[in-house]
Chain A
Amino acid sequence: MIETTAKTGRKDVGTLIIASLFIGLGLITLYDVTTYSDSDSVVFPSFVAYALIFCSVLVIIYSWLKPNPHNGFGSGDWWRRFLLVASMLAACLAMPLSGFLPATAIAFAGGLIAARHEGWDGRSAIIFALSGVFIMAGFYSLFRFALGVPLP
Chain B
Amino acid sequence: MGFEHLANALTLTNLALALFGVVAGTVIGSIPGLSATMAVAVLVPITFSMAPASALILLGAIYTGAIYGGAYSAILLNTPGTPSAIGTTFDGYPMAKRGDGDLAVAIACYASVFGGMIGALALLLLAPPLSSVALAFGPVEYLWLSIFGLSLIASLSTGNVLKGLAGGALGMLLSCVGVAEISADIRLTFGVSTMIGGIEVVGALIGLYCIPVLIDLVATPERHLKVEQGVRAVRFREAALIAWRSRLNLLRSSVIGTVIGILPGAGGSVAGLVAYSEAKRTARPDQKFGDGEPDGIMATESANNATVGGGFIPTLVLGIPGTPPDAVILGALLVQGVRTGPTLFDGGGSIVYTFIFGLFIATILMLPTGLLIGRYAYKTIVTIPKTILVPAVGFMTIIGTFAIRNSISDVIIMIVLGSVGWVLSRFGFAASPIVLGLILGPIAEQGFVQAWIIGDATGNLTGMFFGRPISLAIIAFTILSLVYPIIQGRRAKRILATQANSND
Contacts and interface: CB of A to CB of B under 8 A. Distances in A.
A25 B219 contact: no
Interface string A109-152: 11110111110000000001001100110011001000111111
Given A25-B170, A74-B426, A81-B219, A140 B399 contact: yes
Contact of A59 (B38, B163, B214, B441): B163
Contact of B395 (A59, A96, A135): A135
**How big is chain B's contact interface, by range?**
35 or more
B395 A149 contact: no
B429 A43 contact: no
B183 A40 contact: yes
B42 A111 contact: no
Nearest to A77: B219
**How big is chain A's contact interface, by range?**
35 or more
A80 B388 contact: no
Contacts of A77: 218-220
B196 interface: no
Interface in B177-216: 180, 182-185, 187-188, 190, 211, 214-216
Interface string B152-193: 000000001011011001101100100010111101101000
Given A81-B215, A107-B391, A111-B394, A143 B415 contact: no
A interface SS class: helix
Contacts of B176: 29, 44-45, 48
Nearest to B396: A139
Given A49-B173, A114-B390, A143 B399 contact: yes
A151 B187 CA distance: 29
28 contacts: A14-B423, A22-B166, A36-B180, A38-B185, A43-B449, A51-B169, A52-B169, A55-B166, A58-B162, A59-B160, A59-B162, A59-B166, A72-B427, A76-B216, A77-B218, A77-B220, A84-B214, A85-B211, A85-B215, A89-B415, A95-B411, A108-B391, A115-B391, A128-B387, A139-B399, A147-B34, A149-B406, A152-B408
Chain A to chain B: the 9 pairs with minimum beta-carbon distance, closest first: A76-B219, A111-B391, A38-B183, A117-B221, A115-B390, A41-B185, A52-B169, A55-B166, A44-B445
